[in-house]
Every structure is written in structure tokens, then in C-alpha cells.
Amino acid sequence: MSGPSIIELREVAQPASTMDRRSGEHWAGLLYMRRLSIYGTWLLVRTPLSPNQVTGLMILCGVLSGFILAMPGLWSAIVAALLIQLYLLLDCSDGELARWTRRTSIAGVYLDRVGHYFSEAALLIGLGFRASGSLTQPDWYVVLGFAAALGAILIKAETDLVDVARARSGLIAATESSAELRSSRLGTLRKIASAIGFHRLIQAIELSLIVLAAAVLDFFMGGLTATRVLLVACAVVAGLQMILHLVSILASRRLT
């Protein structure tokens, strides 16, 4: 097969600025997916797919995982978790492909953000239907899934709207240092919350794995108790994080 070697591809597609960054990179990407994604990118450069089309495939995997998760049985949780892993791989590879082909774009950044919105929401909605145990007779578990999905979307919107507000005020994008809280007490509380990592419960990678663990428990115990407890926890975390994140932004220097 013609095309760049892995070494050549890695030099361009995975620069030190990408591989060494800690902010904005998911722990799974740092831990293992960046080591795997370069091989996916090696295959993608040999196809006619554009970076934005790869991002579209990423979105498809994320949304499809939510539809699959809504179905009963252990198999659906396994497939949903695998789709989220593919979603993460494509999330890494689309940027790598863009850097190699020099086709980075604002549209690509936008689609990437939209993909994260859709995927996390789809997974939480799918969890709601799964906890309900019925695709045709939705109950309050489904409502709770939609509520958790709305909370997850609003959390991301709170972050993105910082740059919108700054742009409309003629300011440049917020820097990492501007995220520091003006109150030392709030800063300490945020560090504690970050160390606990409860906010990760509603993020796609972590949620897909925890859902799989809950599905295994339900498989051996019978019923949907573990899945339903998880759904309630997700809804509580989404609501709490939505409020805490808003307070964190308003108490920081991001809007000044």
C-alpha cells in the first residue's frame, strides 16, 4: 500500500504539542488511544475520506451507541462500549488526518464539538430507555435519561459560551490561567471535586464502561437495579455539575 509510513505520519500528525498536552486531552487518549489512533490514521490516509467525514463517522458511532444501549441485554452494553471506543479512536484520528493533509478547519473544530454534545446526550438517553426496560412504553426512567442528557449538554454549553461571550465583547479566547478562581476557598473546593472526579460519570468514555459494569451486575442478579441506580446517579451528577460549573465560570477570570 502506498502512502506514508507510521514514523513519517507520527512526525506530522502527532506533534509534541499534541502528545505532551494534558489540558483538553482525555485520560484514555493519553493512556492508550493516541498509541493506537496513529494506526487508524495510517489506514485513513489511504482512503478518500476527508477529516470532516471522519468526524462525521465519529458522531455516527457516538449516537449509534446510544441507540444500541437502549436495547435490553448484556450484549447491547458490550456493543455500546465498543462503539464508544471506536468513537474515541476516530476523535483522535480526525485531527491527525487533518494535520497530515493540512486540512484543518474551523468547521472541523465545530463538528468535533457537536459530536461530543450528541454522543454524550445519546448515551444518557439510551441509558434512560435501558433502565425503563421498554422501548415502547417509556416511563419516568426515560424522562430522567433525557434530563441527564440535557444537563450534560448544558455543562458543555456553559464552557463554549465563555468564548462566545468574549468574542462578542471583542476579547480573545480565555487562557488556562484565567480559569483560576478569585476565591481561594472555591478554588480548594474545585480541586477536591476534580480529584474525586464525579463529573466524569456522565462523560461518554467513563459512562460506557460503568454502564457495562452495571449490565454485568444486572445479568447475574437479574432485573435492572444496577442500571437504574446508575441512571439516578447520572441525573444527580448532571444537575449538580451544571450548577457548580456555572458558579466556577462566574467566579473565575474567564469573563473579564
Residue 68 lies in a domain: yes
The least confident of 45-49, 76-80, 135-139 is: 135-139
CATH of the domain at 218: 1.20.120.1760
Residue 256 lies in a domain: no
Domain containing 236 equals: 6-250
Residues 67, 80: contact at Cβ < 8 Å?
Answer: no
Q: Which pLDDT does position 186 carry in this prediction?
A: 66
SS3 state of residue 157: helix
Q: Which pLDDT does position 49 carry in this prediction?
A: 95
Please state, for a pLDDT cut of 90, what percent of the chain lies above it.
Answer: 65
pLDDT at 249 over 70: yes
Residue 232 lies in a domain: yes
Could you give the CA distance from residue 146 to residue 124 in angstroms, rounded to a whole number? 7
Q: Which pLDDT does position 79 carry in this prediction?
A: 98
Q: Which pLDDT does position 28 carry in this prediction?
A: 81
- pTM of the shown model: 0.90
Q: Which pLDDT does position 1 carry in this prediction?
A: 57
* Amino acid, res. 215: A
Residues 142, 128: contact at Cβ < 8 Å?
Answer: yes
| Residue reference for cell 513519517 | 8
The least confident of 90-99, 154-163, 183-192, 219-228 is: 183-192
Residue 255 lies in a domain: no
Residue 189 lies in a domain: yes
- Structural domain count of the chain: 1
| pLDDT tens per residue across span 133-192 | 988 888 999 999 999 999 999 999 999 999 999 989 988 877 766 667 666 666 677 677
Nine-digit cell string for 208? 460506557
Chain centre to alpha carbon of residue 145 = 17
| pLDDT tens per residue across span 16-41 | 766 666 555 677 877 788 889 999 99
Q: Which pLDDT does position 25 carry in this prediction?
A: 63
* Arithmetic mean of pLDDT over the chain: 89
